[in-house]
Amino acid sequence: MAYRELAHRKKAEQAARIPKSWTVDTSYLFKSGEKNISIVGQLTPEDGPSFWSKVLGEREIEITTGNDAIDIVDGIRERRWSAEEVTTAFCKRAALAHQVTNCLTEIFFEEAIQRARTLDQARNAHPEEPLGPLHGLPISLKDTYHVPGVDATIGLGCFAFQPSTSYSPLAEILVSLGAVLYCKTNIPQTLMTADSENNLFGRTINPHNRYLTAGGSTGGEGPLIALGGSVLGFGTDIAGSLRIPALCNGIYGFKPSSGMMPFSGQRLPFAPGWEGIGIVASAGPMASSVRACSFALETILKAGASDVDPMCLRIPWYESAELERLRNPRSLRIGVVGDDGLFTTTPPVRRAMKEAEEKLKLGGVTTVPIKLPLMLESLGVIGEMLAVNGTEYLMDLINSTGEPLIPSVEKLGLLAGSPKTMGEYFELNRKRQEIALVYSKFWVENNLDALIMPPAPHTAVPENTWASPSYTAIWNLLDYPSIVLPTGAVNERDIVDGSENFYSENDKEIYKLYDDGPSAYANAPIAIQLVANAAVYMFFVSVFRYALVLLVPLSLILSSYLYLYPVFHLCAFPAPEQDASTAYTNTLRQHLPFLAHDATKVAPFRLLALGDPQLEGESPLADPEAATFPNLAKFWKDALLLDGTNHNPLQRLRHSLHDLVEFYLDDIPNFLEVYRKRLDHIGNDYYLGHIYRTMHWWTDPSHVTVLGDLVGSQWIENDEFERRGWRFWNRVFKGGERIFDEVASTPSEDFQDTRILGEYPAAWKQIILNVPGNHDIGYAGDISPERIKRFDRVFGKPNYELRFHLPVNGTSAEGNSTGNGEDGTGPEEEKPVPELRIIIFNDMNLDTPASSTEMQDQSYAFLNDVITSSHDVDRPALFTIVLTHIPMHKQAGICVDGPFFDFYDGYFDNGIKEQNHLSQSASSGFLEGVFGMSGNPKAPGSGFGRNGVILTGHDHEGCDTYHYINQSDPPEREWRAMKWKDAVDLGVEEQPGVPGLREITVRSMMGDFTGNAGLMSLWFDEEEWDWKFKFVNCQMGTQHIWWIVHIVDLITLGVGLVYGILLAVEKLTPREVSKKHTSNGKATTSNGAPKVANGKLDSYFPEYSQMRSGKLDVPGAGKKSLRKKKSKRNL
């Protein structure tokens, strides 16, 4: 099919993919006249808003104006915008940009909006799932990249209407990271010129000056980003294809070194297998900000580019100590290249360089004027390498549909070359390596961190007149990273200076393009190019050199955080009637040597509540001898006939080989798994112990409790239970003590063991009030007397109570008034002493069926004793704390764990196998019996019962609940529950006629649940003559933090030890010092910077003594190798 028909169909397809409501009349932008030279100028500030608002709403204009890629990602992540909103906005703006500049090739807005909608739906359905780093970000692509269902024509008719079936590796990574691909952008025919024009889609127009080129070959990205139709796009660069459009359109274009970003898998106009031959092309970002370019590179490197493109280097994103140095401007040494020695820069380019150098100096940067070596020779090598594989394949593609060459391609003359022979290609490679050696020495001799230079000798030029890419292609030849940074635009000060000092006639002809002065180049962007040595990229050598400098501060910072995490998290026991800052400040004062804390601001009862440590045991391997290499032992028996059998030699060999295979496949993995598990257990023990010890030290609790599931399984044997108990007391809760049996009292009406709260504080803060959990003794279906006994023996009684009195002004321990009447002779009134009652209760077998009715009867007997020995419900100044494991009943959705029961089938008397909550009847009986609450307003105490709180474990996520019963609900009054926060917000806890009680399920202290610790303060309010309490959580973070900090500490210790040994060896090793003093032969400037020898090649590469026909000629080639002279620094 002829290319004209294909072009007509493609343009019709483009038009059909832009909704009619998104089209505008753009004819007025292209009227003749000097004032209409700039499309951008006409769209801002007066006409711009009205132009955009014809298609975009105010919110869409806000999204697409003034935000870069990072702003967009943050806005979506923070839910300021949805992915669909953002994608729709950029699709609309891209459609407008295309209508005025013809910047797009393939348009797939509808599919992009649907993908964004899917991303939003997935996020809403699973809000807990982490978002990809590019979640919802619209990204544009150069036409060379494959996207399924979309053409990749590269502007050639022969590839039209052949949709791709898979993603290019780069596009695949972007999509996997959450990006939304929505369009592809225009390129030049052959991808080899700076004019993005082809016979299929036409020419892309420069939005700043429509008479100048938009650049190429990633030319469509430039206008699209400049007009806000994209904030981040990706293209390729082999001689300036990213940086030239960036210059022409006033945006940022970054060319990394090759192998940093995925390049393979694109459609290119070269023979298959071309990648890696000659100059190696790079993929890179174009963006509206420099930080977006950095963000793009960082994100792709972190995603593992080498996993999808084997040509990518497996290099992580890393910021070394050397990079930290480079962030200090005064430590930087920047080379300034005025021109490349081949083409003279025009006045606006010279102004851009002068302004950039002045700003660097103002910032404290040391600048050094330098000249680039071997530019003429380099340009010759570049030209030959770009045509190393000939043009036959490309011309066949063009001719297959009868396409003519576009003017810029025809003028370039590259298509006339023939393929290089293998020998010619080797010679080109030799020359490139020699040039690279010169530049390596040039970089080191001048002690450069980077250099700045123009991206071209001119700004964007009239169409079809871009002559040479020497300013950009040199860095492709050397594979150095470089970025174009826009700095302004041509203005009336950039007058023609009439220079007559040109490097060549070709230079003079190119300079003449500026003869008409700034009026012809009005609004054309100006920019600088920043170049770094390829070795600067990740500074791997510096990582080793500065390892200790990095590790010591890092280790100190991480260790300080780990061992002082409650300090950094502002953790403290709540203070009576005080705000959190006062409580924290008072806690801090306790640990400062010269400051005294205020005892009146410290609650008398401070409970450190820890949930579900669940200590696991040995690796659950089927073979208990797995760690002893049983198959290796069997090998020796079979090989040496030690097992009493008489095998013949063949049988002996067969058995022995089988044993060795089993040793390799079974023994070694099992051995490693056993010790990995043991190491994991040790680390987990000390992680849990770190939480206990750190919180115990910082917060100074008066009492400590662990709310069940002390070990990981009720099914373990007694010896394993004992081992875990040893770990509990000697690793996790080292320094803690089991409560004495004499202290753990049984409830009775004539209770004689009441203690004074605050007496013996050192002893009480070491006692651990352990609550039995299902993993300790089992549920009602499998609980047994043996498990109860071993729990009692190792951790303490499963059921008991503690009572404390708190004598305050006006009371005595006996509860009598100590005050006097007005005449000083009699008591004013009787006030009962404030009393605290703590009940530790095993609620594992409150529900039925239970396998042991005898044990269930014992639990209910204890509960009845608690109820019958309780004070009257209307007694003031009484507070009850119940510490138990299984939470009270509550409806599904209030906590992570909803109501759930499972039962044994056919054994254990079909008893309860598992449960999340108590049953509703057991829960209501508990609340009504222990706390005396009732739905009957005529009950004692009006049914409001006793003041108190329930602390439970079991639900590892934790939950804070309010249980209440509405006395006015007819005909049956039922207990209900709601989240505590909701109860406070709705005022339910203060509502008349609604008795209620707070239940706090303490989040687990396990690493998967961020190492939580609960802090409960209880104090007595003498004005209201009642107890009050507050509860807060303090979380350390996952166990990985503990591991990372200690691994870093060990590495730091190891590096420090090796470093110390090396220093000692160096000090003790005698040296011979040469008495000969030599000079490095380098002249210096007044500020100590080395002078450059005016660009003379001999100062960098003495072997180049002759230049013939623009080619490198090395005397004695083939007889001696090229060597650098050793400088004083090298010696």
Burial class (CB in 10 A: 0-12, 13-18, 19+), 1123: exposed
Whole-number Å distance between alpha carbons of 71 and 90: 14
Residue 707 placed within a domain: yes
One domain for residues 1048 and 1007: no
pLDDT of residue 1067: 52
- Angle among Cα 9, 14, 15 to the nearest 5 degrees reads 100
The question of whether 217 is a catalytic residue gets the answer yes
**Residue 323 DSSP SS3:** helix
One domain for residues 524 and 552: no
Please count the CA atoms within 13 angstroms of the CA of 1061 that sit on its side-chain side. Answer: 6
Whole-number Å distance between alpha carbons of 277 and 393: 15
Neighbours of 535 (CB within 10 A): 15
Residue 1118 placed within a domain: no
One domain for residues 610 and 495: no
One domain for residues 174 and 211: yes
Residue 1072 placed within a domain: no
One domain for residues 518 and 553: no
Residue 620 placed within a domain: no
Whole-number Å distance between alpha carbons of 678 and 779: 28
Give the domain extent around 355. 3-541
Whole-number Å distance between alpha carbons of 16 and 657: 71
Pair 240, 279: CB distance under 8 Å: no
Please count the CA atoms within 13 angstroms of the CA of 865 that sit on its side-chain side. Answer: 18
The question of whether 942 is a catalytic residue gets the answer no
Whole-number Å distance between alpha carbons of 67 and 971: 61
pLDDT of residue 1073: 32
Whole-number Å distance between alpha carbons of 25 and 36: 15
Whole-number Å distance between alpha carbons of 514 and 524: 12
pLDDT of residue 960: 96
Residue 466 CA: distances (Å) to CA of 189, 215, 483, 609, 827 = 15, 9, 20, 75, 106
CA dihedral for 234, 236, 239, 241, sign (positive or negative): negative
One domain for residues 518 and 549: no
pLDDT of residue 416: 64
User: Is the peptide bond prior to 45 cis by the omega test (within 30 degrees of 0)?
Assistant: yes
Residue 655: both structure tokens together: 């058995």
Nearest Cα neighbor of 1017 from 714, 696, 702 is 702
Residue 127 placed within a domain: yes
Burial class (CB in 10 A: 0-12, 13-18, 19+), 479: middle
The type of residue at 412 is: L
Nearest Cα neighbor of 745 from 869, 905, 628, 603 is 869
Whole-number Å distance between alpha carbons of 154 and 464: 19
Pair 107, 90: CB distance under 8 Å: no
Residue 112 placed within a domain: yes
One domain for residues 332 and 301: yes
Residue 681: both structure tokens together: 């257990």
Whole-number Å distance between alpha carbons of 244 and 218: 8
Pair 1018, 605: CB distance under 8 Å: yes
Whole-number Å distance between alpha carbons of 101 and 840: 77
**Residue 185 DSSP SS3:** strand
One domain for residues 505 and 547: no
One domain for residues 238 and 121: yes
**Residue 235 DSSP SS3:** strand
Residue 352: both structure tokens together: 């851009």
Q: At what angle do helices 69-77 and 290-302 cross, to 10 degrees?
A: 60
Pair 762, 706: CB distance under 8 Å: no
DSSP H helical ranges for 564-648 = 565-568, 580-590, 630-640
One domain for residues 982 and 1049: no
**Residue 892 DSSP SS3:** coil
The type of residue at 711 is: V
User: Rounded to a whole number, what is the distance in angstroms from the first to the last CA of the chain?
Assistant: 68
CA dihedral for 468, 472, 476, 478, sign (positive or negative): positive
> What averages of pLDDT result for each successive group of 10 residues across the chain (1131 residues)?
91 96 85 65 62 90 95 97 97 96 98 97 95 97 97 96 96 97 97 94 95 95 97 96 97 93 91 76 95 93 87 68 66 93 95 94 93 94 86 89 92 72 88 92 90 96 93 95 95 84 92 92 95 57 49 86 92 84 86 75 94 80 56 73 66 77 78 79 92 95 96 92 95 94 90 92 95 95 93 96 88 50 48 94 92 90 93 92 96 93 87 94 91 87 92 95 85 86 91 91 94 95 92 92 90 77 54 32 32 34 32 32 30 23
Pair 135, 76: CB distance under 8 Å: yes
Whole-number Å distance between alpha carbons of 180 and 112: 6
Number of domains comprising the chain:
3
pLDDT of residue 826: 43
Task: Look up the pTM and report it.
Answer: 0.54
Residues 168, 196, 217, 1017: which is the catalytic one? Answer: 217
Residue with tokens 């196998």: 913
One domain for residues 498 and 359: yes
Strand-pair partners of 997: 963
Whole-number Å distance between alpha carbons of 1014 and 573: 9
The question of whether 142 is a catalytic residue gets the answer yes
Please count the CA atoms within 13 angstroms of the CA of 955 that sit on its side-chain side. Answer: 26
Residues 10, 92, 140, 142: which is the catalytic one? Answer: 142
Residues 196, 241, 282, 408: which is the catalytic one? Answer: 241
pLDDT of residue 1105: 32
Residue 1085 placed within a domain: no
- Output the furthest CA–CA distance in the chain (Å, rounded): 124
Whole-number Å distance between alpha carbons of 1067 and 1063: 6
pLDDT of residue 313: 77
Write out the E strands in 724-823. Answer: 737-738, 755-756, 767-770, 800-805
Neighbouring residues of 1023: CB distance < 8 A, sequence distance ≥ 6:
none
CA dihedral for 997, 1003, 1005, 1010, sign (positive or negative): negative
Neighbouring residues of 111: CB distance < 8 A, sequence distance ≥ 6:
149, 182
Number of H helices, E strands in the chain: 34, 31
Residue 852 main-chain phi, psi, to 5 deg: -125, 100
Neighbours of 44 (CB within 10 A): 12
Whole-number Å distance between alpha carbons of 692 and 699: 11
Residue 207: both structure tokens together: 């939005």
Task: Write the CATH number for 437.
Answer: 3.90.1300.10
Residue 1058 placed within a domain: yes
Whole-number Å distance between alpha carbons of 850 and 918: 13
Whole-number Å distance between alpha carbons of 258 and 279: 10
Nearest Cα neighbor of 162 from 267, 309, 19 is 267
Residue 767: both structure tokens together: 């006692």
One domain for residues 381 and 451: yes
Whole-number Å distance between alpha carbons of 348 and 461: 12
Whole-number Å distance between alpha carbons of 229 and 254: 19
Whole-number Å distance between alpha carbons of 179 and 137: 5
DSSP H helical ranges for 221-344 = 221-226, 243-249, 290-302, 321-326
pLDDT of residue 859: 92
Nearest Cα neighbor of 949 from 700, 609, 695 is 609
Whole-number Å distance between alpha carbons of 231 and 137: 9
pLDDT of residue 1078: 29
Strand-pair partners of 482: 255, 531
Task: Write the CATH number for 972.
Answer: 3.60.21
Residue 948 CA: distances (Å) to CA of 882, 968, 973, 1024, 1029 = 8, 23, 21, 16, 9
Pair 104, 13: CB distance under 8 Å: no
Whole-number Å distance between alpha carbons of 39 and 182: 24
Residue with tokens 């609604």: 994
Residue 298 CA: distances (Å) to CA of 291, 306, 324 = 10, 14, 17
